Amino acid sequence: MILDHIKGLYTHPKEEWHHIDDNHESIADSLGHIFLVALIPAICSYFANAHIGWDLGVGDKLFLTNESAIFMSIATYFGLIGGVFALAYLIFWMAKTFDSTPTYTQSFELAVYTATPLFMVGFGALYPVIWVMMLVGLVGLTYSVYLLYTGVPIMMHIPEEKGFIYASSVVTAGLVLLVALMTGSVIIWSFGFGPAYV
């Protein structure tokens, strides 16, 4: 059950990784999880952008037009899902280097559950103060990295020492992926698809 895994990953992550590894879900179950959890940042950011307004600490709150907020939320949703697929592919692709032979489904499960805390950070957008979001985002990122480091040895069936290097490689590749997504967003914005403010 999706919610059981989320609760387990927050309360006893190592045991939950073993549970996930012992009872692999189908790719459809993992897709259902990511499609559902990715709605959190998309919907919360829509309300923050269109109805609550962002407090940057100076001046008035910033609001997006309703159409722009919807467009940005939809783009966020598909961007996050695409990022998880890319992260899963990176995990799968790197596996041979670390003497692991996971299926793509195992790699996808690892990516999905590792990304979950980052998606849960989306609830913070309902209090759209920039320094609060930065702090909440940092906590979510830190916990996602922790889940990756604890999950890699278990899900990939490799020793912890090798798992540490494997997870470090995935984090590095993930950061490169993040920079690429941010660069792509800036390029798309420069073609006139940027946010429209009220």
Identify whether the C-beta of residue 79 lies closer than 8 Å to the C-beta of residue 181.
Answer: yes
* Predicted local distance difference test score (pLDDT) of residue 27: 85
In a domain, residue 198? The reply is no
How far from 85 is each of 29, 35, 63, 174, CA to CA, in Å? Answer: 14, 12, 31, 11
In a domain, residue 147? The reply is yes
* Predicted local distance difference test score (pLDDT) of residue 2: 59
* Predicted local distance difference test score (pLDDT) of residue 191: 79
In a domain, residue 156? The reply is yes
Question: Where in the sequence is the domain holding 84, given as residue range(s)?
Answer: 2-193
Of the candidates 84, 157, 91, 152, the one whose C-alpha atom is nearest the C-alpha of residue 118 is 84
Helix (H, G, I), strand (E, B) or coil at 33: helix
* Predicted local distance difference test score (pLDDT) of residue 70: 93
* Predicted local distance difference test score (pLDDT) of residue 3: 65
In a domain, residue 127? The reply is yes
* Predicted local distance difference test score (pLDDT) of residue 58: 83
In a domain, residue 130? The reply is yes
One digit per residue, pLDDT tens: the chain, 198 residues? Answer: 556 788 889 999 999 999 999 988 888 888 988 999 999 999 999 999 999 999 887 878 889 999 999 988 998 899 899 999 999 999 999 998 898 999 999 999 999 999 999 999 999 999 999 999 999 999 999 999 999 999 999 999 999 999 999 999 999 988 888 888 778 878 877 777 777 778
What's the pTM value of the predicted model, to 2 decimals? 0.90
Identify whether the C-beta of residue 48 lies closer than 8 Å to the C-beta of residue 128.
Answer: yes
Phi, psi of 159 (to 5 degrees): -65, 155
User: Measured between alpha carbons, how far is 159 from 137 in angstroms, rounded to an integer?
Assistant: 30
* Predicted local distance difference test score (pLDDT) of residue 28: 86
Of the candidates 23, 34, 166, 173, the one whose C-alpha atom is nearest the C-alpha of residue 112 is 34
DSSP category for residue 102: -
* Predicted local distance difference test score (pLDDT) of residue 185: 79
The domain tally of the chain equals 1
